[in-house]
Structure 1
Amino acid sequence: AKRLVQAFGKEVFDIIEAAPERLREVGGIGPLRAAKIIAGWADQKAVREIMVFLHDHGVGTARAVRIYKTYGREAVEVMTENPYRLAKDIRGIGFRTADIIAMKLGIEPTAMVRVRAGIAYALTEAMGDGHCGLPVAELKALAGKLLEVPDALVDTALELEVADGTVIADRVGETPCLFLAGLWHAERGIAERLRRVASGSPPWPVIDAERALPWIEGKTGLALAPSQAEAVRLALQSKVLVITGGPGVGKTTLVNAILRILGAKGVRLLLCAPTGRAAKRMTEATGLEARTIHRLLEFDPKAFGFKRGEENPLDCDLLVVDESSMVDVPL
């Protein structure tokens, strides 16, 4: 670079752009290095053009970098054809942001590309209220309100989204509903995994509950209620158990009893909860280390995934997940 500047001064960029064959005039630059310089310049020029385009249409530098990293040289083409892809492909860019960019690109509010993207947006908004899907009539009303477009356009967009498999049509009882494909598959996956995990025998030898119950009451100095004793019996012979109830009904006492009994039998235990605060409470209540789900599954921010999974399972016989109703469907 220093030799290039010495040879051509301020005109160096014009030389690379308009007369790249002159690079060979500089000592030490052969055909291979000249080709590398020209290719690198072309890449940088493409990046500059894309950044200028994005800035001209209201995209800040941080988002522009993420857009370029996602689409490369196709960034301008993608955004011109369908800026709503940004909401689907890039974390941190939602429908509202994509919609603002689309308006600056001159896309009409009634354009089908916008209404179709708005279907996913409406379902995503419903997710915030805990829904995995919505009845068809409710979704149509919500989409029409959010997008401010006629019902006929929403109907057409829904048909196209279902045909493409982006949205799944199903029934809940007798009610026709629509789901985002990812959530629909996730729910079916949860049901299938629960069926699979629940079958078979627990990974510990048979434990005599009638001997274990007096033992744990003696160890803790607490008398278990009949429902708690029945839950302990069920836990000792089940592969999956859900313990539910409001505050103060004895869930923590029950979990502690199960952990103490199984721990005495050498069962490998792991405890987790969705949040750091819940994990800390669990540690204090049980005396055993509890971690967040993400820490337990060894979340890798670079790969944006977990190191633990079917290929690399957790080292435990019993996994206790506290506050599991707080865990969302994809997780």
Structure 2
Amino acid sequence: MMSTITASSREKEETLTGVVERITYHAPDSGYTVAKMQVKGWRDLLTIIGNFPNIQAGMTLTVNGHWHDHPKHGQQFQVKNYTESKPATLTGMEKYLGSGLIKGVGPVTARRIVAHFQLETLDIIENQIERLAEVPGIGKKRVKMIQDTWSEQKLIKDVMIFLQGHGVSTTYAVKIFKQYGNNAISMVSENPYQLAIDIFGIGFHTANQIAIQVGISPWSKYRYKSGVLHILSQAADEGHCFLPLPELVNQADELLSFDGFDADRETVTRSIKEMVESEELKVEVAEGEMWLCYKPTFYYTEANLAKLLRLHLEKPVKVDRERVENWIERYTKSKGISLSPPTNRSRHQSSVIAGDASHGGGLVVGRPLLKKLWLHFGRPWGKKLA
């Protein structure tokens, strides 16, 4: 018998249970996997794709997800989340143990273990693993190796169950486990906002959802600090290397508030000051004692770029000044860029792009525009500046 996949079934989520027959592809870093699975009621093996921290042939999986058609490889089942069950047959146990999942156990040893303990095999390994020494050819050293590997596999399973039980997708769960290993559960339980810093693809909003699921207080200092970093990152995407303190506080207050909870502006300000003290943020003090707040990466990048610009500008260059000034005027006009009036030529040339490097005057621009101006302004000189 062969089940059929209708157009509507491709659009809705389904749950399938089966045995992994073979692994077609597995990326250790991301956990991305393509595997073949035998499902009862299906004549052919099914292709499943998804993120698995450690998957081996012989595993019995219950997978939740949806169907989609790959233009080259045909029908595939995209796994959203999954749970692992113990193999229920002797053949399944042999394949599971001999798949390479457990160090020290190959197909021959797996066959011996299952032949000796029969259907109690997995319970023996789980609860009385020292009894493996009863099996011919298995000594104490190998028992220890099997015990260590089994404990590691159990830890992976526990982490995945914990994360998926708190609404974390399989994709993120694999990334979290790869990042923190044995400490994954404690890290997520204590400070899930660290995920937004350490793991690519997990931002503030995803970390915040995880925090809600695990019961982190909205007053958490980690939440406030993560929100501040998120706002500065967003500002950078819009071309701003820093935000004045009042603007940063306003945006943080808006981001961190939700229905039934109002963020405290004093707590936001205090959190920012603590981040400055711990060097999680950098500040420049402008006129009127105004704090300009930076993420350290942007602060040091701008400082180094300004230094580079000054070094270039200090080098004598033979140039047709009139031609250069005409070109700058045409370029800035075409791009709608308004430059501050120069006090002298050398200061003008640097402040046009770098904002005087000390942020006390000139045009303040973000990195994308800064790089663009730097590259374009070099052309009239016939120089490659970056």
TM-score by shorter chain over 0.5 = yes
Tell whether 2:122 aligns with 1:13: yes
After TM superposition, give the deviation of residue 159 of structure 1 in Å. 1.8
Alignment of 1:89-100 (within 5 A): 89-100=198-209
Residue matched to 1:152? 266
Aligned match of 1:140 in 249, 264, 267? 249
Give the letter aligned to residue 323 of structure 2: S
* Aligned equivalents of 2:195, 2:333: Cα separation in 1: 42
Q: Deviations over 1:127-181 (max 9, x none)?
A: 2221111001111111101111021111221122112111112134553211111
- 3-state SS of paired residue (1:84): helix
Q: TM-score, normalised by structure 1?
A: 0.61
* Aligned equivalents of 1:11, 1:51: Cα separation in 2: 25
* Aligned equivalents of 1:124, 1:83: Cα separation in 2: 18
Count the aligned residue pairs: 230
Q: Deviations over 1:283-312 (max 9, x none)?
A: xxxxxxxxxxxxxxxxxxxxxxxxxxxxxx
* Aligned equivalents of 1:157, 1:130: Cα separation in 2: 24
Aligned match of 1:44 in 127, 144, 153? 153
Give the letter aligned to residue 227 of structure 1: R
Give the letter aligned to residue 153 of structure 1: T
- 3-state SS of paired residue (2:192): coil
Residue matched to 1:186? 301
* Aligned equivalents of 1:37, 1:77: Cα separation in 2: 26
In the superposition, relative to structure 1, how do residues 37 and 166 fare at CA in structure 2: closer, same or farther (>3 Å)? same
* Aligned equivalents of 1:189, 1:10: Cα separation in 2: 67
After TM superposition, give the deviation of residue 43 of structure 1 in Å. 0.4
After TM superposition, give the deviation of residue 319 of structure 1 in Å. 4.3
In the superposition, relative to structure 1, how do residues 137 and 319 fare at CA in structure 2: closer, same or farther (>3 Å)? same
In the superposition, relative to structure 1, how do residues 33 and 200 fare at CA in structure 2: closer, same or farther (>3 Å)? farther
In the superposition, relative to structure 1, how do residues 209 and 196 fare at CA in structure 2: closer, same or farther (>3 Å)? closer
| The structure with more helix, counted as a fraction of residues | 1
Alignment of 1:1-331 (within 5 A): 1-148=110-257, 149-174=263-288, 175-196=290-311, 227=323, 244-245=331-332, 247=334, 319=384
Give the letter aligned to residue 124 of structure 1: S
- 3-state SS of paired residue (1:169): strand
* Aligned equivalents of 1:131, 1:229: Cα separation in 2: 27
After TM superposition, give the deviation of residue 80 of structure 1 in Å. 0.8
In the superposition, relative to structure 1, how do residues 191 and 21 fare at CA in structure 2: closer, same or farther (>3 Å)? same
* Aligned equivalents of 2:319, 2:224: Cα separation in 1: 59
Give the letter aligned to residue 214 of structure 2: L
Give the letter aligned to residue 179 of structure 1: Y
Give the letter aligned to residue 83 of structure 1: P
Give the letter aligned to residue 163 of structure 1: E
In the superposition, relative to structure 1, how do residues 16 and 201 fare at CA in structure 2: closer, same or farther (>3 Å)? farther
After TM superposition, give the deviation of residue 28 of structure 1 in Å. 2.1
Give the letter aligned to residue 278 of structure 2: D
* Aligned equivalents of 1:163, 1:63: Cα separation in 2: 32
List structure 1 runs of 4+ shifted beyond 6 angstroms.
none
* Aligned equivalents of 2:268, 2:213: Cα separation in 1: 23
* Aligned equivalents of 2:163, 2:153: Cα separation in 1: 15
After TM superposition, give the deviation of residue 13 of structure 1 in Å. 2.0
- 3-state SS of paired residue (1:108): coil
Gaps of 5+ in 2: 1-109, 258-262, 336-367, 373-382
* Aligned equivalents of 1:201, 1:30: Cα separation in 2: 78
The more displaced of 190-199 and 57-66 is 190-199
After TM superposition, give the deviation of residue 188 of structure 1 in Å. 1.5
Q: Deviations over 1:3-56 (max 9, x none)?
A: 222222232222122111111112222222211111110100000000000001
In the superposition, relative to structure 1, how do residues 14 and 188 fare at CA in structure 2: closer, same or farther (>3 Å)? same
Residue matched to 1:221? none
Q: Deviations over 1:230-250 (max 9, x none)?
A: 98xxxxxxxxx9x954559xx
